[in-house]
Structure 1
Amino acid sequence: MRRRVITYWERLIAKHLTERLHCSLGYAIAAISKIRSILLNDRLFSQFCEQNDEEFNRLLMHTEVRGAFEKYMSLKEAIV
């Protein structure tokens, strides 16, 4: 019973966030493409991340977006 309720809420949330999520992912992909399109931007982004002691210091390639989405979904309880 509990799993059914959780699944119901996941579907309800997904229905209302689909457009927002699509729009957000569109902005993220556009920003990543813009930065990666010029090698200097990529290098500057890497330096920026290193200066701020970030765990990651490079942008995701389009093939790695699925992995990022899976990480997002694993953190959904903290977000929602």
Structure 2
Amino acid sequence: MRISTACLLVILSQVYRPGLIFLSLLASDIGSHWMQMYSTFLLGKGSYKDVKDITNWLCFKGNQMFMAYCCVACEVIQT
């Protein structure tokens, strides 16, 4: 998934000018992934998907009402 996104952003940077916008999005994607992996390493977790000790209710993936709201809002906005 990450490689396909990177390839798409590189292609878009060649097709549309200024391409710096797409390359900055690519750098942001790679940088955020690196920060997520590094913070997981510093916390001593085995995986970045480990969400057992998350205290923020908004970030917890098990918050089904919030996730349902996000899905419905996304569909409403697209129509």
TM bucket (normalised to shorter chain) is 0.3 to 0.5
TM-score normalised by the chain length of structure 2: 0.35
Q: Which structure is higher in RCO with an 8 Å CA cutoff and minimum separation 6?
A: 1
TM-score normalised by the chain length of structure 1: 0.34
